[in-house]
Amino acid sequence: MSTVTNTQKKAPAGERVADWADGRLGIYTLAKANMRKIFPDHWSFMLGEICLYSFLIIILTGVYLTMFFHPSMNEVEYAGSYVPLQGQLMSEAFNSTMHISFEVRGGLLIRQIHHWAALIFLAGMFVHMMRVFFTGAFRKPREINWLFGFLLFFLGMFTGFTGYSLPDDLLSGTGVRFMQGAILSVPIVGTYLSMFLFGGEFPGGDFVARFYSAHVLLLPGIMLGLVVAHLILVFVHKHTHFEGPGRTNKNVVGMPLLPVYMAKAGGFFFLVFGVIAVIAAIASINPIWALGPYRPDQVSTGAQPDWYMGFAEGLIRVMPGWEINLWGHTLVLGVMIPLAIFPLVLAAIAVYPFIESWITGDKREHHIAQRPRNAPTRTAFGVAWITAYMIMLVGGGNDLWATHFHLSINSITWFVRIFFFLGPVIAFIVTKRICLGLQRRDKDKVLHGRESGIIKRLPHGEFVEVHEPLSQGELYKLTAHEQYEPAALPPAVDENGVKRKIGAMEKLRVKLNKGYYGDDNQVAKPTLEEYKEIQSGHGHH
């Protein structure tokens, strides 16, 4: 508060600037509230940072690329420096991408940084999302933020796809044709949608310009907004932390934003940029000069989308080519069914937090990140989902599996068809058993201590292995997690002897709940009595 203190000597320049800014922006209040914000320290909490930084790198390099890229499909003759294409006809989009790659200073490196960063951004989001999933960090109050994150992944896929299509090369053109085929398979409106999107018959002369505005303006604009909202919510909710002494559901143990995290995050940004730049300098990505310009009458084998769309590619590749012809119309089930399964698989993971909270009936806030083993059913579901996803990725690359492992492409396709359904079931069962095994091991460690490897011979000849008791901190870590009681249906008759009406949904909920927390689905953690009883008979175990 600047009261009348002019008589004193003037404040330092920095303070005056800060005062000036505070008077207009209120930075002191903001800083006071946020500068000492605490963040917990764990490497897996930095996965989101990888995503954020690679997103920033994509924006920065993307701006550079827009300065040289011409989003036009006008036909030109190539006259650049790459000999094997000289004199070929191509769109201006392809021509300008060739120009960026061969003539613009640093153009190829920036293009490669942009594309590699995009692949890493999507891979980072996938892993980040799985981290949140397996630690239960999506539980109340973070469900909305989970959805924001999921939307970022989903939009990222389409931003990536539109960007991949812009150079109008033979590979991406095939991808666009694939997408157009999927649109055409939609009953009744498919042809209209396709005509609308492409401004007439495929490929027409419009789609590059249209994809361009979606790629540089619409989609990244929405994503940027979502990123900001995502970060604000992280601030509002505070970060989760793992179990440990002194860590509760009501506090956050870690380091302050300023100076520790500002320095670490700033440094980490440059490390991420550095790693991506090195990769882009070493390895080629999307060498459009080798692919050639798009022509609808040409196609190459090995035409796959970038990895995040490989799952959709797999669905189409392994789906039998069924179709129904009725009254002069064709229903292309071979494309329509994959098109319907694609969003369903993604939605399965997106809505999971809501399903779990409905099953548990838990309405409390959770700020402790769980260890995956302590939520066996959820962990098993997550692994099952990843299994289905990965099997479809195999389907998307079935030709390369065939050539590199000397297999028949037909066998791979059949493997994928069967294991898309069977694989998740096996993964679910195996994962759950591993989780329960790990829970038993934790219990064993708590009760009997750690195996020391020291064999002791007792006076009467018996050999025993000495177990070292765990420290208090470790004991806490292994026993602090909360275990739910399995839900049960209320008695069939209420206190007045009237038969209770129980809905089918409630019955289903209780059944699922037992699947989560029933006797065989979690290992009861050791009680204090058990612990004391075993510890009192010192050394015998």
Partner 1 sequence: MKKLSARRRHPLAAVVVLLLALAATGGLYAAFAPAGTAKADETAQSLAIEEGKKLYSVGCASCHGTGGQGTTDGPSLVGVGSASVDFQVGTGRMPAQQPGAQVPKKKVIYTQAEIDQLAAYVASLGAGPATPKEGQYSPEGADIAKGGELFRTNCAQCHNFTGEGGALTHGKYAPSLEGVSPKHLYEAMQTGPQNMPSFPDTTMPEKEKKDIIAYVNAVNGDETPSPGGLSLGGLGPVSEGLFAWIFGLGALIAVAIWVAAHTAKAKKS
Q: Taking the complex as a whole, how short is the minimal distance between the CB of residue 300 and partner 1, in angstroms? A: 4
Does the protein bind partner 1 through residue 101 (CB under 8 A)?
Answer: yes
Count of residues in contact with partner 1, rule CB under 8 A: 75
Interaction between residue 170 and partner 1 (CB under 8 A)? yes
Nearest distance in Å: CB 54, partner 1: 8
Query: Which of 2, 34, 74, 284 forms a contact with partner 1 (CB under 8 A)?
Result: 284
- Binding of residue 408 to partner 1 (CB under 8 A): yes
Tally Cβ neighbours within 10 Å of residue 415: 19
Please tell me the distance from the alpha carbon of residue 343 to that of residue 189, in angstroms, as a whole number: 18
Binding of residue 119 to partner 1 (CB under 8 A): yes
Touching partner 1, residues 435-464 (CB under 8 A): none
- From the CB of 159, what's the least distance to partner 1, in Å? 16
C-alpha distances out from residue 293 to 75, 78, 431, Å: 11, 10, 47
60 or 447, CB closer to partner 1?
60
Q: Is the peptide bond before 203 cis (omega within 30 degrees of 0)?
A: yes
Nearest CB to partner 1, comparing residues 102 and 196: 102
**What is the distance between the alpha carbons of residues 391 and 394, in angstroms, rounded to a whole number?**
5
- Binding flag, residue 108, partner 1 (CB under 8 A): yes
Residue closer to partner 1, measured from CB, 221 or 267: 267
Residue 289 lies near partner 1 (rule: CB under 8 A): yes
CB contact at 8 A, 391 and 419: yes
Q: Is 270 in the site for partner 1 (CB under 8 A)?
A: no
The answer to the question of residue 275 lying near partner 1 (CB under 8 A) is yes
Of 172 and 439, CB closest to partner 1? 172
CA distance 182 to 337: 10
21 is an interface residue for partner 1 by CB under 8 A: no
15-23, 297-305, 364-372, 377-385 -> range binding partner 1 (CB under 8 A): 297-305
Distance CA 401, CA 391 (A): 12
Residue pair 228/218 in contact by the 8 Å Cβ criterion: no
Q: 507 φ, ψ to 5°?
A: -60, -40
Query: What sign for the dihedral angle of Cα 8, 10, 15, 17?
Result: positive
Min. distance of Cβ 113 from partner 1 in angstroms? Answer: 11
Please state the φ and ψ torsions of residue 387, each to the nearest 5 degrees.
Answer: -60, -45
Residue 25 within binding range of partner 1, rule CB under 8 A = no
Q: Which two tokens stand for residue 314?
A: 């797999």
C-beta neighbour count of 349 within 10 angstroms:
19
Nearest-approach distance from CB 364 to partner 1, in angstroms: 29
Near partner 1 in 122-141, by CB under 8 A: 123-124, 127
Do residues 311 and 344 lie in contact, with contact meaning Cβ atoms separated by under 8 Å?
Answer: no
Interatomic CA distance for residues 12 and 327, integer angstroms: 85
Regarding 268 and contact with partner 1 (CB under 8 A), the answer is: yes
For the bound state, the minimum distance from the C-beta of residue 359 to partner 1, rounded and expressed in Å, comes to: 32
Nearest-Å Rg of the Cα atoms of the chain is 29
> Pattern 36-75, binding to partner 1, x per CB under 8 A?
-----xxxxxxx-xx-------------------------
